[in-house]
Structure 1
């Protein structure tokens, strides 16, 4: 079974879905209903479910394919309950490590479509549960981030996300307690759990009291629980003063009382110790460490670039002091995990992939080891990756233990994981969603993932084959670069019509490895119809990823207002109106339009701020656009090079695109932050 990534890169190859019952014979079953092993069993799976479990001597396997489980141990597949799932190769890494279910922690329509494909068995897995986009007190501009500026807005957003089909609501640090309460109230009406970071202004107890029932990373658990007489010097969990204060220790009795209360109220924690321990190490030290050096080849180059950009050791602050305090704080958090476990507060294994220096799938085994280091037995740690996630999701009747009638999401280990959890690092086979992966299949997935970067091809698609009656045509292509690496390519065509209107076609093929946005190779294709003054008559944007595509159309109506229609990756259609006068396109909508705007500004002395439109991150937004010279000097005839910039303002956010022109008026370079675009020779 080959899965093409929407023509956006190399394919992944999966085994064919099982077409007949399969029997795993003579195997020791670790059912995970309690701390026990059932020896010499035969387990029959059919259509993705467990049909029969019994002593091998009493189960007939006539007419079935078989897997010899002698001297092997069969147990439920593992769950990673905190991931950010974006790139195609992540499925390979999860499955190769026995992860058969993930909880995605910053959702988008992309994940709803991915979920549908897995349910329909167009992809084998892992199964995916997804939260909503993050709701916070500020707007990052990303498609996975929504701002709630008051209780009414919070209720509207939460209700809309529930209607949209997300399975949980995720919140973050900047919310007020009043807004959090509004979110929790609406989510309760919609039957959804609220999970995420405890807001900076609240204690865990306050957040629980207004309805929050699951916490990530233990963020802020120390608030109100420091030793008597010690004041918290701030609220932000990453500030040096706060980290140093927590590193000195917490009031363990107070933490124990909180843990007991969470146990009584069934309030969950997903500590993600593996990411807390490693995410702030220097890049070279991290990727060459014993824990990563042998698996870093599986991290896409776009992911490595993102890790490097976020390396805190390169920032201008007392890094070593901060890092030392961070490590001591992590020891305190491990102590807290032990207390939570002792008091019976429910815990989940989660790893926060693809945050820095955390590799999908492999990180689950690290987190299991962290849980045993915090005082759990192997069985107790494994429960946090099997039966407890199923209970947390209200799906204990469907999966989480090895039992007849439940999903056959199973892993075959070479040794008894109840004796040593390390045996799960080298699995013999994985069964998920009606598919069977042998060790050879798993190795093939890993090797294919390691080779993906060498197969990325930024092919130049053909553009400019539309209208036949044109006054002139101009075409070109730019290579997008970060340092020495090509990370994308823009191909464009400009056509002027006899009436002075413009037809702009542009295709941008690129790869990225962001934590909260699409990863892998993708293509954005835009077609603009512009008035002679370059304002938008109509804009069409198609965004293709390995999961599918979305399509947005912006149309100017007779009343000089815009109508925006969008069809998301999962087929959901929605519409909105933008009440505005005619708008210019901004550089993120069409990079190649800016030289036309520069020419217009030079010819018409047009340098004042104007309104523009961007179709980005699933939204239509009105922004302020300024086209101005890059320095205070006036360019003169005969200059070899001159530069103009497009300044885009969205609230307090400002983005500057600088265009350098050669003496013949052609673009020789475009820069925006770390990215540079240069003409393709």
Structure 2
């Protein structure tokens, strides 16, 4: 009876595939992310960009065929990763080269979704090109231009910015330092009316409690929590407290954290921790060490030198001395795990390309740091799949490997629930049902490296 049912399914799908290209991925183990179990020995039938059927392979399973057949030879597939704090390059002078290269850098590292957090009109065009298939790349969500002390001049003007960005087609609003509290309330009110999420940094004049109360959907970099844990009578002097007030970490009162956690959970706010940004940009490891990292070859030399100069300026000012930075990074790791263990949802984010964080590659640095902080492999994968999909209210469409969902997944040699490093070298991937081989990914990496060959 089982053979008969599967045969009927295959006849149906074969007929269905006459009008559209279909894909069969067979002999794979599936990490669906519905739970932490592995579905052993499966085949996926894909048509019209969706997973139509997941079929267990047994001695009774009949021979299957499709327009394109990929034999996984016992490899593992998972839903792919998200980079939910990216900064896409701007198309300068009409050149989209760096944008298109970034798309391939993400794909080559198994990143199938990005949320770009500092928007530009050229990003909207890039999003259109990716959606239409004119450009290969991960699916893109775009935040609009920054709301900050220079761009926002009044509550009324801030509200109009929200309306204009929603009308332009942006998916998200980005808050930066400098926004005043009355402006923040108006941004929040208008954003809710326009049905567009907002989040970002926590301006000092707003504070973490008001940021949460206003409806921040995401707090980037865990910003604002340190300030919310300081003694109430402490006055912050930004000229001496260091980047993100890191020199004040020794004055944090952790007993204030449970109340902030309750407020975070009540609001349903997500955290984009960007651990690698603080390890590489604001950490005590010297700039000259990071400039030699192998993935720097995929970006223009002048950009790498700019990053070196930026970090060295902080080093010369004594802002990144180990005596200040080590306690701060330890605090951030503790904060990260306290929030996570309490159930605050985390979204995978590395702030790429940003100082020494190369698109795609930086996500694996983020994964390593999350693991070192104490997060399990399964929970790490959730931050890059299930949670970002929930964040965008798209959990019915992507984030897991399930029948009816978009055919977006990455194939790797080993089980990432046991070995996170296996995700650094995809054997191939499907995005929207289109299969891209590992060889093609490597070809693109080689091409990009040649484009930026140091002379």
Q: TM-score, normalised by structure 1?
A: 0.60
Q: Is the 8 A contact 1:151 1:179 kept in 2?
A: yes
Runs of 4+ in 1 over 6 A off after TM superposition: none
Partner of 1:96: 108
* Structure 2: 5+ residue stretches without partners: 1-19, 90-97
Q: Which has the higher contact order (CA 8 A, sep 6+)?
A: 2
* Structure 1: 5+ residue stretches without partners: 1-18, 139-146, 456-484, 486-681
1:449 maps onto 2:453 in alignment? no
Partner of 2:347: 348
Q: Is the 8 A contact 1:124 1:433 kept in 2?
A: no
> Shift of the alpha carbon at 1:369?
1.8
Q: Is the 8 A contact 2:120 2:145 kept in 1?
A: yes
> Shift of the alpha carbon at 1:268?
0.9
Partner of 2:120: 108
> Shift of the alpha carbon at 1:199?
0.6
Cα shift readout 1:619-648 (whole Å, capped 9, x = no counterpart): xxxxxxxxxxxxxxxxxxxxxxxxxxxxxx
Cα shift readout 1:340-387 (whole Å, capped 9, x = no counterpart): 111101111101111111111111111112222222110011100000
1:28 maps onto 2:29 in alignment? yes
Q: Is the 8 A contact 1:233 1:241 kept in 2?
A: no
Cα shift readout 1:285-336 (whole Å, capped 9, x = no counterpart): 2223xxx2x2221122232132133233477523453x54133212211110
Flag the 1:303–1:60 CA change in 2: closer, same or farther, 3 A: farther
Partner of 1:524: none
Partner of 1:197: 201
Partner of 2:149: 137
Partner of 2:268: 266
> Shift of the alpha carbon at 1:229?
7.7
My pick for the range that moved more, 179-188 or 429-438, is 429-438
1:402 maps onto 2:404 in alignment? no
Partner of 2:311: 311
The 5-angstrom pairing of residues 75-474 of structure 1 reads 75-86=78-89, 87=98, 88-138=100-150, 147-226=151-230, 231-235=234-238, 239=242, 242-246=245-249, 248=250, 250-280=252-282, 281-288=285-292, 292=293, 294-313=294-313, 317-319=317-319, 321=321, 324-454=323-453
Flag the 1:390–1:273 CA change in 2: closer, same or farther, 3 A: same
Cα shift readout 1:585-625 (whole Å, capped 9, x = no counterpart): xxxxxxxxxxxxxxxxxxxxxxxxxxxxxxxxxxxxxxxxx
- Partners of 1:202 and 1:286 in 2: CA distance: 34
Q: Is the 8 A contact 1:23 1:44 kept in 2?
A: yes
- Partners of 1:238 and 1:165 in 2: CA distance: 38
- Partners of 1:76 and 1:435 in 2: CA distance: 14
Q: Is the 8 A contact 2:209 2:228 kept in 1?
A: no
* SS of residue paired to 1:431: strand
> Shift of the alpha carbon at 1:242?
3.2
> Shift of the alpha carbon at 1:27?
0.7
> Shift of the alpha carbon at 1:176?
0.6
- Partners of 2:358 and 2:112 in 1: CA distance: 16
- Partners of 1:69 and 1:274 in 2: CA distance: 32
Q: Is the 8 A contact 1:225 1:255 kept in 2?
A: yes
* SS of residue paired to 1:125: coil
Cα shift readout 1:569-592 (whole Å, capped 9, x = no counterpart): xxxxxxxxxxxxxxxxxxxxxxxx
- Partners of 1:378 and 1:432 in 2: CA distance: 23
> Shift of the alpha carbon at 1:240?
6.8
> Shift of the alpha carbon at 1:56?
2.3
Q: Is the 8 A contact 1:42 1:59 kept in 2?
A: no
- Partners of 1:426 and 1:315 in 2: CA distance: 34
Flag the 1:55–1:315 CA change in 2: closer, same or farther, 3 A: closer
> Shift of the alpha carbon at 1:253?
3.0
Q: Is the 8 A contact 2:179 2:206 kept in 1?
A: no
Flag the 1:152–1:296 CA change in 2: closer, same or farther, 3 A: same
* Larger helix share, 1 or 2: 2
- Partners of 1:59 and 1:111 in 2: CA distance: 46
- Which of 67, 71, 74 pairs up with 2:74? 71
Partner of 1:639: none
Q: TM-score, normalised by structure 2?
A: 0.88
- Partners of 1:392 and 1:435 in 2: CA distance: 25
> Shift of the alpha carbon at 1:181?
0.7
* SS of residue paired to 2:228: coil
Q: Is the 8 A contact 2:32 2:401 kept in 1?
A: yes
Cα shift readout 1:127-150 (whole Å, capped 9, x = no counterpart): 100111101111xxxxxxxx1111
Q: Is the 8 A contact 1:168 1:194 kept in 2?
A: yes
Q: Is the 8 A contact 2:215 2:267 kept in 1?
A: no
- Partners of 1:373 and 1:110 in 2: CA distance: 37
Partner of 1:51: 52
- Partners of 1:357 and 1:178 in 2: CA distance: 36
> Shift of the alpha carbon at 1:256?
2.8
Q: Is the 8 A contact 1:298 1:449 kept in 2?
A: yes
- Partners of 1:94 and 1:277 in 2: CA distance: 20
User: Which has the higher Rg, Structure 1 or Structure 2?
Assistant: 1
- Partners of 1:33 and 1:241 in 2: CA distance: 37
* SS of residue paired to 2:45: strand
- Partners of 1:274 and 1:74 in 2: CA distance: 25
Partner of 2:13: none
My pick for the range that moved more, 20-29 or 56-65, is 56-65
Flag the 1:438–1:237 CA change in 2: closer, same or farther, 3 A: farther
> Shift of the alpha carbon at 1:121?
1.0
My pick for the range that moved more, 339-348 or 46-55, is 46-55
